[in-house]
A = this chain, B = another copy of it.
C-alpha cells in the first residue's frame, strides 16, 4: 500500500534545514518536513531569569506559534484573542523540555537562550519539525557565544543532539512522519523525541480512536527510532559535521 505522496510506510518526507535564515538571531533555521515549514530562531542573551540568578547555570526555553494562515483554514491570532491556547502551551513546553535534555547548564553559564518556532506552513508534524530545527538553531547560537567568548573556552554546553518525529497507525499500518491528511485519519498518533545516540527524551502516544496494544506501541517505537536516526544524519550534515 502506497501513501498519498508515494512514500513507503517507513520513509520520511524530504527534510531540509536551511541555516542562517535571519540576519538578527544568534541562530536561525528554516526547517522543512515536506510542506511543513517552521522558522526557528535562537536568541541568546546574557543573564538568566530571577529564580536562577547566582546559580552559575543558564536557561533554555521555547515558544511555538502558528501563523494564522499556515493552515488550510485561517485560525484566529492568539494575540488578538488575548490568550494562548492549550495546544500552543503544550507544544512550547515540549520543545523546551526536549532541548533542555541535551544542555549542560553549568557549561552554558548564566546565559539564556530562547527558541522561537513559528510555523509558516503546516502539513502535519509541526512540533517534530520544530524540535529538529530548533536543535540546529540552538547549536548555532552556542557556537556564536563561544566565538564571542560569552561561554568559557572548552565548555561544551551541548551534551548531545536531539531530533523528533511523528508516527501513527493509519488503516492498521504504522507510518512514519505523518502528513496532515494521514494525521487526521490516524487511529493512534505518537510523537517521539530521541537523542542522537538512540535514547528517548520524550514519548507521547495517544489513541485517537481505538486504544492501542503493547505490540502496536512497540511497532511505533521501532519506526520512530529509525526516523530519528535519519533526522540526526540530516542535522549533522546541515551543521557540516
Contacts and interface: CB of A to CB of B under 8 A. Distances in A.
Counting every copy of the chain, the complex holds 6
Contacts of A204: 203-205
Contact of A207 (B70, B82, B101): B101
A202 B188 CA distance: 9
A1 B28 CA distance: 35
Interface string A79-118: 1111111111110110001000100000000000010101
Contacts of A144: none
Interface in A37-77: 39, 41, 43, 45, 63, 65, 67-74, 77
A24 B124 CA distance: 13
Nearest to A27: B69
What is the interface residue range for chain A against chain B? 35 or more
A150 interface: no
A67 B28 CA distance: 13
A221 interface: yes
Given A23-B35, A79-B78, A206-B97, A200 B221 contact: no
Interface stretch (A4-12, A125-133, A170-178, A209-217): A209-217
Contact of A80 (B63, B70, B121, B203): B63
Name the residue in A22, A23, A63, A116 with the highest tally of chain B Cβ atoms < 10 Å from its Cβ.
A22
A78 B80 CA distance: 8
A217 B200 contact: yes
A204 B217 CA distance: 12
Contact of A199 (B87, B120, B212): B212
6 tightest Cβ-Cβ pairs between the two chains A and B: A199-B211, A86-B89, A78-B79, A41-B69, A43-B74, A79-B79
Given A23-B35, A45-B73, A87-B93, 14 more contacts: A23-B123, A24-B70, A41-B68, A63-B80, A74-B114, A74-B116, A79-B83, A85-B89, A190-B203, A199-B211, A200-B211, A202-B206, A204-B205, A217-B221
17 contacts: A22-B69, A22-B70, A22-B121, A24-B70, A24-B122, A43-B69, A79-B79, A86-B93, A90-B93, A118-B118, A199-B213, A200-B211, A200-B213, A201-B207, A204-B205, A214-B225, A217-B221
